């Protein structure tokens, strides 16, 4: 598998994943490029990776957390701390027309996105976000309940 093929396959996933947490388009572009630059430099490893999508999203998440730690904004050292209370969340109207994921806190958004859209398992999301599997499952449960409450009015879920 060459780099261009990897990029074509995973570019949209990385972009959407970053956009779930960041609102500055230049920052998204920087971290997106840093992520794929890291992938390029580790291409020799890729054949041995069992789940390339989870691996690449893990790199993207770490790059994002590293950057935000350095700049001390939008996210704390603990990706779960205060996530639900944060007020600097982006406007998702351009991202999800129905504002579905905008109902959720940032970490739950990434979990729901990873599990339902990217097809990752709870265990893989554990690796991507670096949080316990029980936390992923619990967040997913509560996020789904919230979405179900909202969707219940429009869909028979």
Partner 1 sequence: MCEEDQREWIRAYLQGRIKDAEEKLRFFDRLLADPRFRQLLAEEKALMDRLYAEKIVLMPRDKEKWLRQIQEKAGRVPAEEEPTPLQWLFRVMDLAMPGQSVSDYRKALRRLML
- In the complex, which residues of this chain contact partner 1 (CB under 8 A)? 3-4, 7, 11-12, 15-16, 19, 29, 32-33, 36-37, 40-45, 48, 55, 58, 95-98, 100-101, 112-113, 115-117, 119, 121-123, 126-127, 130, 137, 140-141, 144, 147-148, 151, 155-157
What is the smallest separation between the CB atom of 111 and partner 1, expressed in angstroms? 12
What is the smallest separation between the CB atom of 25 and partner 1, expressed in angstroms? 9
Closest CA to 111 of 69, 72, 76, 146: 146
Beta carbon nearer to partner 1, 68 or 147: 147
What is the smallest separation between the CB atom of 20 and partner 1, expressed in angstroms? 9
Beta carbon nearer to partner 1, 16 or 81: 16
What is the smallest separation between the CB atom of 66 and partner 1, expressed in angstroms? 15
What is the smallest separation between the CB atom of 114 and partner 1, expressed in angstroms? 11
The three-state secondary structure class of 23 is coil
**141 exposure class (CB count in 10 Å sphere: 0-12, 13-18, 19+):** exposed
Dihedral sign for Cα 88, 90, 93, 96, please. negative
How far CA 134 is from CA of 3, 130, 137, 148, in Å, comes to 34, 12, 5, 21
Beta carbon nearer to partner 1, 82 or 119: 119
Return d(Cα 59, Cα 10) in angstroms, integer. 12
Beta carbon nearer to partner 1, 85 or 143: 143
Q: For residues 99 and 106, is the Cβ–Cβ distance under 8 A? A: no
Beta carbon nearer to partner 1, 76 or 122: 122
Closest CA to 117 of 20, 7, 27: 20
């Amino acid at each position: 598998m060459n780099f261009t093929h990897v990029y074509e396959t995973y570019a949209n996933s990385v972009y959407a994943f970053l956009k779930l947490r960041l609102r500055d388009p230049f920052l998204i572009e920087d971290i997106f490029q840093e992520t794929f630059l890291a992938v390029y430099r580790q291409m020799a490893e890729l054949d041995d990776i069992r789940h390339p999508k989870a691996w690449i999203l893990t790199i993207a998440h770490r790059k994002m957390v590293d950057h935000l730690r350095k700049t001390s904004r939008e996210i704390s050292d603990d990706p779960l701390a205060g996530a639900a209370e944060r007020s600097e969340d982006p406007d998702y109207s351009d991202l999800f027309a129905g504002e579905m994921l905008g109902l959720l806190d940032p970490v739950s958004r990434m979990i729901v996105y990873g599990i339902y859209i990217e097809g990752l398992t709870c265990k893989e999301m554990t690796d991507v976000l670096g949080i316990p599997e029980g936390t992923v499952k619990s967040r997913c449960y509560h996020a789904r309940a919230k979405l179900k409450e909202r969707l219940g009015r429009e869909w028979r879920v």
